[in-house]
Amino acid sequence: MMKHLRISIAVLAAGFIASGCVSNGTFKKMEEGKKQEIATLQQEKASISKENSSLEQQNTELKQQVSSLDQQKASVQQQGWVAGAGEGRLARSQPAAAEAV
Protein backbone atom coordinates (compact mmCIF):
# COMPACT_ATOMS: atom_id res chain seq x y z
CA MET A 1 0.00 0.00 0.00
CA MET A 2 2.74 2.49 0.93
CA LYS A 3 4.65 1.42 -2.14
CA HIS A 4 1.66 2.16 -4.38
CA LEU A 5 1.18 5.56 -2.75
CA ARG A 6 4.81 6.49 -3.33
CA ILE A 7 4.66 5.36 -6.94
CA SER A 8 1.43 7.29 -7.51
CA ILE A 9 2.94 10.45 -6.03
CA ALA A 10 6.09 10.03 -8.14
CA VAL A 11 4.02 9.53 -11.32
CA LEU A 12 1.89 12.58 -10.56
CA ALA A 13 4.95 14.68 -9.81
CA ALA A 14 6.64 13.56 -13.02
CA GLY A 15 3.47 14.39 -14.95
CA PHE A 16 3.31 17.92 -13.54
CA ILE A 17 6.98 18.50 -14.19
CA ALA A 18 6.80 17.15 -17.74
CA SER A 19 3.66 19.05 -18.74
CA GLY A 20 4.36 22.31 -16.93
CA CYS A 21 1.67 24.91 -16.29
CA VAL A 22 1.65 26.05 -19.92
CA SER A 23 2.64 24.01 -22.90
CA ASN A 24 5.81 25.10 -24.68
CA GLY A 25 3.89 25.98 -27.87
CA THR A 26 1.43 28.18 -25.98
CA PHE A 27 4.28 29.91 -24.19
CA LYS A 28 6.11 30.58 -27.47
CA LYS A 29 2.93 32.08 -28.99
CA MET A 30 2.44 34.34 -25.99
CA GLU A 31 6.08 35.34 -26.03
CA GLU A 32 5.97 36.22 -29.74
CA GLY A 33 2.78 38.23 -29.23
CA LYS A 34 4.39 40.21 -26.42
CA LYS A 35 7.51 40.85 -28.52
CA GLN A 36 5.33 42.27 -31.30
CA GLU A 37 3.43 44.38 -28.79
CA ILE A 38 6.70 45.75 -27.41
CA ALA A 39 7.95 46.56 -30.92
CA THR A 40 4.70 48.38 -31.72
CA LEU A 41 4.87 50.37 -28.49
CA GLN A 42 8.48 51.33 -29.15
CA GLN A 43 7.52 52.60 -32.62
CA GLU A 44 4.64 54.60 -31.14
CA LYS A 45 6.97 56.04 -28.51
CA ALA A 46 9.47 57.11 -31.19
CA SER A 47 6.69 58.70 -33.24
CA ILE A 48 5.29 60.57 -30.23
CA SER A 49 8.77 61.70 -29.23
CA LYS A 50 9.37 63.06 -32.74
CA GLU A 51 6.01 64.84 -32.71
CA ASN A 52 6.80 66.29 -29.27
CA SER A 53 10.11 67.68 -30.52
CA SER A 54 8.36 69.26 -33.50
CA LEU A 55 5.72 70.84 -31.27
CA GLU A 56 8.36 72.17 -28.90
CA GLN A 57 10.17 73.77 -31.84
CA GLN A 58 6.91 75.33 -33.09
CA ASN A 59 6.23 76.61 -29.58
CA THR A 60 9.66 78.23 -29.42
CA GLU A 61 9.13 79.86 -32.82
CA LEU A 62 5.71 81.17 -31.79
CA LYS A 63 7.15 82.60 -28.58
CA GLN A 64 9.79 84.40 -30.67
CA GLN A 65 7.04 85.79 -32.91
CA VAL A 66 5.10 87.04 -29.88
CA SER A 67 8.23 88.71 -28.55
CA SER A 68 8.91 90.34 -31.92
CA LEU A 69 5.32 91.56 -32.19
CA ASP A 70 5.47 92.94 -28.65
CA GLN A 71 8.61 94.87 -29.60
CA GLN A 72 6.94 96.22 -32.74
CA LYS A 73 3.89 97.24 -30.73
CA ALA A 74 6.06 99.07 -28.20
CA SER A 75 7.93 100.81 -31.02
CA VAL A 76 4.70 101.92 -32.66
CA GLN A 77 3.38 103.19 -29.33
CA GLN A 78 6.59 105.13 -28.68
CA GLN A 79 6.25 106.82 -32.06
CA GLY A 80 2.85 108.14 -31.01
CA TRP A 81 0.59 106.04 -33.21
CA VAL A 82 -2.77 105.00 -31.76
CA ALA A 83 -5.63 102.91 -33.04
CA GLY A 84 -8.12 105.06 -34.90
CA ALA A 85 -11.80 104.81 -33.94
CA GLY A 86 -11.85 101.03 -33.76
CA GLU A 87 -11.56 100.70 -37.53
CA GLY A 88 -8.26 98.87 -37.39
CA ARG A 89 -6.39 101.88 -38.76
CA LEU A 90 -3.60 103.76 -37.10
CA ALA A 91 -3.66 107.51 -36.66
CA ARG A 92 -0.97 109.80 -35.38
CA SER A 93 -1.90 110.99 -31.90
CA GLN A 94 -2.01 114.74 -31.38
CA PRO A 95 -0.10 116.26 -28.49
CA ALA A 96 -2.34 117.56 -25.70
CA ALA A 97 -1.15 121.16 -26.22
CA ALA A 98 -2.17 121.14 -29.89
CA GLU A 99 -5.67 119.97 -29.01
CA ALA A 100 -6.16 122.86 -26.61
CA VAL A 101 -5.60 125.42 -29.36
91 or 23: whose pLDDT is higher?
23
Mean pLDDT value across residues 32-53:
96
Question: Whole-model pTM?
Answer: 0.51
Q: Could you tell me the pLDDT band of residue 90, with boundaries at 50, 70 and 90?
A: low
Query: CA–CA separation, 52 vs 34, rounded Å?
Result: 26
Query: How does DSSP assign 32-85, residue by residue?
Result: HHHHHHHHHHHHHHHHHHHHHHHHHHHHHHHHHHHHHHHHHHHHHHHTTEEEET
pLDDT of the residue at 60: 98
Q: Is the distance from CB of 92 to CB of 78 less than 8 angstroms? A: no
100 or 60: whose pLDDT is higher?
60
pLDDT of the residue at 3: 74
Question: How high does pLDDT run on average in the chain?
Answer: 81
